[in-house]
Structure 1
Amino acid sequence: MSIALDYTLFSDPQFLAQVGKGLINTIELAVFAFALAMTMAVVIAVMRMSTNRLCVAVAAAYVEYHQNVPLLVHIFLWYFGVAAVLPADVQQWINANNSEFIFAFIGVGLCLGGYMSEDLRGGIRSIPTAQLEASRALGLSYLQACRLVILPQAVRVAMPPLVNHTVLLFKNTSLAMTIGVAELTYVTKEVESQTFKTFEVYLASTVIYLALSLVLMWGGALIEHRTRIRAR
């Protein structure tokens, strides 16, 4: 028994508008989460490679926590847990400014930041320690040496795993639907419940996720090729 598929849905203005809005929210969520993840990755990687035992312990605890707790639990903790203990004025401000979106990108960003910090740490460890020592000998502080000498090279070395985790971050934004963020997966589910065209709706969503993931991978490969450290 065959089932007739209605592909006219793909040209329906209302469907396109709903999916377009969900896609925009997904991209915005991914951009904010990526910015937070990279910021935390740099901070944690630098702390992890320092000689201060307290910094190393805090950074290691951060990584272990975020790598061993499911991302969905992180999102729930921020949305249901952290939100409940914030001061009333802060809660009111967040609720008035799309609290679901804010807590979703914080949860995703902090979690993926733990993974990306390990990518950067691997890149940092590949840089000869003599470069750090030479930078310090020239009068640079530890942070200045990391920012000006070590990190630019480490990022180039760590580009492949960073790209992989960026794609993972983008795909994991779909978990934000569990707290009501109207991103692509949430909108897909809503449209499916309205039209009952399950295959067509989820096919469109799948194609969009696949296309954007491939674009991210292609862009990452291009950046990696242009910034690759070549042997002399």
Structure 2
Amino acid sequence: MSDQFVMSFITNNRWQLYIKGLGTSLLITIGALALGIVLGVLVAVVRTGHDQQKGKHSGGLSVANTICKVYTTVIRGTPMMVQLLIMNFVIFASSKNLYLTAVLALGINSGAYVSEIIRGGIMSIDPGQMEAGRSLGMNYATVMKEIIIPQAIKNILPALGNELITLFKDTSLVSVIGLGELTKVARDIQARTYQPMMPYLGIAAMYLIICIILTWLQGILERRMRQSERR
């Protein structure tokens, strides 16, 4: 057992490879989450605006809503692995920037789920608040930005936290395109040492520790937001 540990983590300073792979996984997570939130907010606002207009839809909004519905249906209805392979071997077949490919694939996938989370949060807000804002002369975008979305964020924070954790774990899938994240590092070391137990148990522990830290940080943020509501 100790020999396997030394071979997998100590020999040739292999522990540094794990740290580098973990850093790559975290960078992918941050980039994909940022892209996913931007896409999610845009799609949620379009779909909510379409639903709230009650038969008074403009042509442009109807087209945008249709595009958003197709986007969420396709992305949520196909495996992330397949999307990642299409992104790498079809859309960006000539590109060597694997990091950008991974961020785009995971971010676009996350955006579809985040949009539904945010849309649910927006729909949970009393419609009277939108009407009150519009009666004060504010346009739709201003009401959403200043009144609706800040309240919705408080309601959807737990779901967004879960999406972040899921996204971090899903970075393990990008090993199929050859990007040197945590899982790819473990696979490479296993291929060199012929010892699968220690590399895979090691990265499992790393994923678990990071997820525990993220859950802890999420809990702190939720408590602070609840305290701000009482003031």
Q: TM-score, normalised by structure 2?
A: 0.88
1:14 corresponds in structure 2 to 13
Structure 2 counterpart of 1:50, which letter? G
Alignment of 1:139 onto 2:148: no
Q: Is the 8 A contact 1:23 1:183 kept in 2?
A: yes
Give 3-state SS (helix, strand or coil) of 2:138's partner.
Answer: coil
Structure 2 Cα separation of the partners of residues 20 and 206 of structure 1: 14
Alignment of 1:107 onto 2:105: yes
Structure 2 Cα separation of the partners of residues 73 and 10 of structure 1: 32
Structure 2 Cα separation of the partners of residues 6 and 189 of structure 1: 15
Structure 2 Cα separation of the partners of residues 138 and 4 of structure 1: 71
Structure 2 Cα separation of the partners of residues 60 and 230 of structure 1: 34
What is the Cα deviation at residue 18 of structure 1?
0.8
2:84 corresponds in structure 1 to 75
What is the Cα deviation at residue 149 of structure 1?
0.9
Structure 2 counterpart of 1:34, which letter? L
Structure 1 Cα separation of the partners of residues 11 and 217 of structure 2: 31
Structure 2 counterpart of 1:66, which letter? I
Task: Please list the CA deviations of residues 82-139 of structure 1 after superposition, one character each: whole Å capped at 9, or x if unmatched.
Answer: 124xxxxxx5xx43xxx21111110111011101111111110110011111111222
Structure 2 Cα separation of the partners of residues 219 and 121 of structure 1: 24
Task: Please list the CA deviations of residues 40-87 of structure 1 after superposition, one character each: whole Å capped at 9, or x if unmatched.
Answer: 111111011013322322222111111101001111111111124xxx
What is the Cα deviation at residue 12 of structure 1?
4.4
Give the CA RMSD over aligned residues: 1.9
What is the Cα deviation at residue 11 of structure 1?
4.2
1:46 corresponds in structure 2 to 45
Structure 1 counterpart of 2:168, which letter? F
Structure 2 Cα separation of the partners of residues 213 and 29 of structure 1: 15
1:153 corresponds in structure 2 to 151
Alignment of 1:193 onto 2:202: no
Structure 1 Cα separation of the partners of residues 179 and 169 of structure 2: 14
Give 3-state SS (helix, strand or coil) of 1:49's partner.
Answer: helix
Range that drifts further, 23-32 or 13-22: 13-22
The match for 2:64 among 42, 55, 64 is 55
What is the Cα deviation at residue 13 of structure 1?
5.9
What is the Cα deviation at residue 217 of structure 1?
1.5
State the identity %: 30
Question: Following superposition of structure 1 onto structure 2, how do residues 212-223 of structure 1 map, counting pairs within 5 Å?
Answer: 212-223=210-221
Unpaired runs of 5+ residues, structure 2, are 51-60
Structure 2 Cα separation of the partners of residues 191 and 203 of structure 1: 13
Q: TM-score, normalised by structure 1?
A: 0.88
Counterparts in 2 of 1:13 and 1:151: CA distance versus 1, 3 Å: farther
Question: Following superposition of structure 1 onto structure 2, how do residues 91-130 of structure 1 map, counting pairs within 5 Å?
Answer: 91=94, 94-95=95-96, 99-130=97-128
Task: Please list the CA deviations of residues 8-50 of structure 1 after superposition, one character each: whole Å capped at 9, or x if unmatched.
Answer: 3444461111111111111111111111011111111101101
1:88 corresponds in structure 2 to none
